[in-house]
């Protein structure tokens, strides 16, 4: 069981996110494109996903839509990341029931706060013994 799945195609950003979230004590998985993201979601069953919108192969919104149509991820929170910061993206994401929306560039503390708020409010899943 992984706490957070980070989906990001920019190597430097992925690396920095992985560093700050791991430092806070969460377990982190990564994916670099839309298809890899879905694969990783099934494999890691993350409690939440940080999902970039501009992704190769399969866009972030498309991935979100697929997740939301699957009962397996009913309790999985998804926070979108975007560098475009356009109103259209935010609305589309909210419509697809994203749990948060973070515009790049961001302060590291904001990302950590957002993740912590979500994970703290989630009931801790029963550990499969």
Partner 1 sequence: MLSPDFVILTAVGYVGLLFLLAYVSDARAKRGNAGFLSSPAIYTLSISVYCTSWTFYGAVGTAARNGLEFMAIYMGPTLVFVGWWFLLRKLIRIAHSQHITSIADFLSSRFGKSSRLAVLITLIAVVSITPYIALQLKAITTSIQTVSVAKGDGTGHLAMLDEVTLALAVAIGMAVFTILFGTRNVDAREHHPGVVAAIAFEAVVKLLALVAVGMFVIFGVSDGISDIYARAVEAGVRIHEREPFGSRWVAVLFLSACAVICLPRQFQITVVENSNEDHLRTAAWAFPSYMLVMCLFTMPIALYGLSTMPSGSNPDMFVLTLPMVTGHDALALFAFIGGFSSATSMIIVASIALSIMVSNHIVVPLALRAVPLGEETGERDIARLLLRSRRISIAGMLLLGFLYFWLTQDSDALAPIGLISFGGVAQFLPAMLAALYWRRATMNGALAGISVGFVVWAWTLFLPSFASVSPSMAELVANGPWGISALRPEGLFGMKGMDPLVHSVFWSLLANISTLLCVSVATSQNALERIQASLFVDVFRRSASLRPRIIRGSASTSELFFVAERVLGWQRAGALFDSAGVPHRQGNASQGVSANFIARLERELAGSIGSASAHILLTKAVAGDSTSLEEMMQMADETQQAIEYSHALELKSQELHSTAQQLKEANGLLQDLHRQKDDFLSQVSHELRTPMTSIRSFAEILREPEDLTSAQRVRFIGTIHNESVRLTRLLDEILDLSALEHGERNWENVPVDAEEILEQAIAVCEALAKKRLVLIENGARAGDCLVLADTGRLSQVFINIIANAISHNDSENPVVHISSRVTLDEYIVEISDNGPGIPPQYHNKIFEKFVRADPDTMRDSQGLGLGLNISHKIVGKLNGRLELTRGALPGVCFRITLPVWREAEPTLTALEGVQVNT
- Please, are residues 119 and 47 in contact by the beta-carbon 8 Å criterion? yes
Shortest separation between residue 124's beta carbon and partner 1, angstroms: 27
Q: What residues make contact with partner 1 under the rule CB under 8 A? A: 9-13, 15-17, 19-20, 23, 33, 54, 56-57, 83-86, 103-109
- Do the Cβ atoms of 6 and 18 come closer than 8 Å? yes
Min CB(129)–partner 1 separation in Å: 34
Q: Where are the beta strands (DSSP E) in the chain?
A: 4-7, 28-31, 48-52, 77-82, 100-103
Query: Minimum distance between the CB of residue 77 and partner 1, rounded to whole angstroms?
Result: 21
Nearer to partner 1, 16 or 122 (CB): 16
Nearer to partner 1, 84 or 97 (CB): 84
Contact 102, 111 (CB under 8 A): yes
């Amino acid at each position: 069981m992984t706490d957070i799945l980070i989906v990001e195609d920019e190597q430097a950003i992925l690396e920095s996110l992985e560093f700050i979230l791991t430092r806070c004590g969460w377990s982190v998985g990564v994916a670099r494109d839309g298809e890899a993201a879905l694969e990783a979601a099934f494999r890691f069953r993350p409690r939440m996903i940080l999902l970039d919108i501009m992704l190769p192969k399969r866009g972030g919104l498309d991935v979100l839509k697929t997740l939301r149509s699957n009962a397996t991820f009913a309790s999985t929170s998804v926070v979108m990341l975007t560098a475009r910061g356009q109103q259209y993206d935010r609305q589309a994401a909210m419509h697809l029931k994203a749990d948060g929306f973070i515009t790049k560039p961001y302060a590291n503390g904001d990302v950590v706060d957002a993740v912590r708020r979500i994970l703290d409010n989630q009931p801790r899943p029963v550990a499969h013994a």
